[in-house]
Structure 1
């Protein structure tokens, strides 16, 4: 007889439905269990991830609290005169707080040398017919040489000075006056400021005398003149009545541990009184207050996250590690302090923990603003000192979020269980395929048997119908 390729073809029974129902009855409870387990692991993993994120955010703030530099900043407030800004300042963490009256008597400047009248009639004048070398100097250590080719013009001299790679700061310009008695003026400006740092130009040929700087004693034939107002000068400021000089417009440590950059000279009134600006150096209380607020917000975010994830019905309900973290946080921030002045704990600087475990600002002992006004440096020691709270908090949080920390171990375990679950599902699917194959084998035999019986029945019926005296029922 022909091969039966579909269950029930031979017998006429709906064996496919029977097989599907049998496989489904065997498989569904297992698949449902796998799905519930997977969802449970994913929810727990998500909850752990949220707690980890909150710990990491708090740890970022703790790292800033553990850095003494963040408690050593100073702010500079300048009340400038109505005539304009006189200076800017950059204080360091070592500067003492205080107030200063500062006037700018004189800005620093480099020297300016101008060629003699009618030394050059135009930019095309030849400055040297045979060529030569000019040497430029300013101050003790600024120098460069410039070699000119034969026939070099005034314009070529200007361009060569400006393009020299070792030029220390000499700028050349040409001013065409339009007056035949004055001619074209070569103007050389040096950026090297400070008393005694005038530009000095010499050469190795008399042809270039017109470009050398004039000095009545050492070089009377030099044609470049530096006027009295064009000489290099120091900057001069007055700090609380005391005159201070600098070779540049930057004063480093004129007030110890502070850099002052002068911007303009003070205006002087009819009585000879110069405008002054009032400089106030204070502790950077605002940045510390902002950092403490960030600490409170991120601490409370972590406490709230732990509370939410451990509620009844949540994946971390009853989790001992979460309860342990919360208890350790409270114990750590309340630790006794040493070497922090009058502060025995951070609660003495104006913080407290309420009954829900959240940090708050408090003025019960003193407010944090009072603490900063009275003992600013000790606040830094309370957090960032060797025995400060921040270092212990860093260590505590690191135990949870470092590469070998408890949170990482927990995540690794949960991800491992999810991977194992995938293997379990694959194995279950294999078993169900084998189970279905076994059913089909069994039902195939039944199908063949019933088909044979049906054929036998049909054969016997036909034979009986042909017997003498057999009457068919119509």
Structure 2
């Protein structure tokens, strides 16, 4: 008989519907359960992620508050003279607060030497017909040598000086005066400042005396000084201080002062001064405390949001534990923090709903900084400071081995297991369908055969003599 390709084709019965109904009866409830479980795990994973993100954000802030260096910064407030800026200042955390008056009497400068008149007619004038070696020096530890090739011109010498890899800071230029009796002048400038650090040029041949400050073997030097190297000179509260550069380290202990311009005035009339005030960096501390309050409140709000009645973390014990530990740690007693017995003594308060706020119930933050600035650092970053304790607490939840991370790992693992369960179930449904089709295929064939037999017998009986077909 012909091959049956679809269930029920042979028998005429709606076996496809029967097979589908049999599979759906087992498959649909199971897949609905899988979908519901996936949604539940995904939503819970998202909620845990939101809380963990808020914990990590607060943890970053506590890491900064636990660093005592963030409470040791100093700020320099400068009121420059009306003529313009004369100094810049970089204080360290060790400097004492105070007020100073600073004047700049003299800037540090390097030296400059110039070749003699009529030494060179033009930039094409030959410096040395046979060549030699020039040695440049400034001070005790700055020096480099330069080989002068035979026939080198003045322009070529300038370029060779400027491009030398060992050049310590000598710049060569040529000034073309346009005066035949003066000619082209070689100008060499050294950036090495400080008294006694004048630029020197010596050679190993008399032929190079025209570009030397010291003649070879008793000749005449061609380069003369037009500017000596000099120290910078400032006064701090009237006391004169010198430096070989324009940077003064520890002229005021633990502070660097850089001279920018010479003050207007002189020793007779007096020099204009910059008024310098060194104070605690209150702004950075205030910013950190504001960040702490904002991120703490963000975490409290996030816990409240994710534990509402309709949320997956409603009634979650780890969320209750985190909330309780936060307020307990925040309320811990301070040690060696001056008059501050708790963090709430430095201008921070807690409201009935658990959120933090700036408060002046005991004293404001500004008052605390005015009275005991260093103790604020101890309150947060001291050995038993609140920031260190909170940092440790938050790490127990957000770090790689923390509670929230473990929850995430567990949920992700359950989602992976769920994928396997779905795959296994789908395989079972495929096997069930295959089994049902085999069973119903046999029934289909059997019924088809019976129908054929019935048709055959009916036809035979109809041909028998005296057989009357009923209407």
The alignment partner of 1:100 has SS state of strand
User: Residue 311 of structure 1 aligns with which residue?
Assistant: 308
1:275 Cα shift? 1.7
Of 354, 357, 361, the residue aligned with 1:360 is 357
1:133 Cα shift? 2.1
Of 247, 251, 258, the residue aligned with 2:248 is 251
1:424 Cα shift? 1.5
User: Structure 1 residues 133 and 435, CA, compared in 2 at 3 Å: closer, same or farther?
Assistant: closer
Distance (whole Å) between structure 2 residues aligned to residue 33 and residue 172 of structure 1: 86
1:37 Cα shift? 0.8
1:234–1:245 CA contact under 8 A, matched in 2 = yes
Matched, 1:414 2:411: yes
2:206–2:219 CA contact under 8 A, matched in 1 = no
Distance (whole Å) between structure 2 residues aligned to residue 114 and residue 138 of structure 1: 16
Matched, 1:81 2:81: yes
Equivalences for residues 87-236 of structure 1 within 5 A = 87-213=87-213, 221-227=220-226, 230-236=227-233
1:213–1:219 CA contact under 8 A, matched in 2 = no
Give the unaligned 5+ runs of structure 2: none
Matched, 1:431 2:422: no
2:66–2:387 CA contact under 8 A, matched in 1 = yes
Distance (whole Å) between structure 1 residues aligned to residue 118 and residue 250 of structure 2: 47
Distance (whole Å) between structure 2 residues aligned to residue 419 and residue 157 of structure 1: 76
The alignment partner of 1:174 has SS state of strand
1:201–1:212 CA contact under 8 A, matched in 2 = yes
Distance (whole Å) between structure 2 residues aligned to residue 123 and residue 398 of structure 1: 72
Deviations 1:198-246 (A, max 9, x none): 112222222222222269xx9883222214xx11111111111111111
User: Structure 1 residues 210 and 435, CA, compared in 2 at 3 Å: closer, same or farther?
Assistant: closer
Give the unaligned 5+ runs of structure 1: none
User: Structure 1 residues 254 and 16, CA, compared in 2 at 3 Å: closer, same or farther?
Assistant: same
Distance (whole Å) between structure 1 residues aligned to residue 5 and residue 36 of structure 2: 38
The alignment partner of 1:403 has SS state of coil
1:62 Cα shift? 1.0
1:214–1:225 CA contact under 8 A, matched in 2 = no
1:373 Cα shift? 1.5
1:383–1:389 CA contact under 8 A, matched in 2 = yes
User: Residue 402 of structure 2 aligns with which residue?
Assistant: 405
Distance (whole Å) between structure 1 residues aligned to residue 458 and residue 414 of structure 2: 65
1:464 Cα shift? 2.6
Q: Give the structure-2-normalised TM-score.
A: 0.95
1:271 Cα shift? 6.3
Distance (whole Å) between structure 1 residues aligned to residue 205 and residue 426 of structure 2: 101
Provide the aligned C-alpha RMSD in A.
2.0
User: Structure 1 residues 459 and 95, CA, compared in 2 at 3 Å: closer, same or farther?
Assistant: same
Of 248, 254, 257, the residue aligned with 1:260 is 257
Distance (whole Å) between structure 2 residues aligned to residue 286 and residue 191 of structure 1: 39
Distance (whole Å) between structure 1 residues aligned to residue 200 and residue 159 of structure 2: 19
Stretch of structure 1 that moved more, 276-285 or 261-270 = 261-270
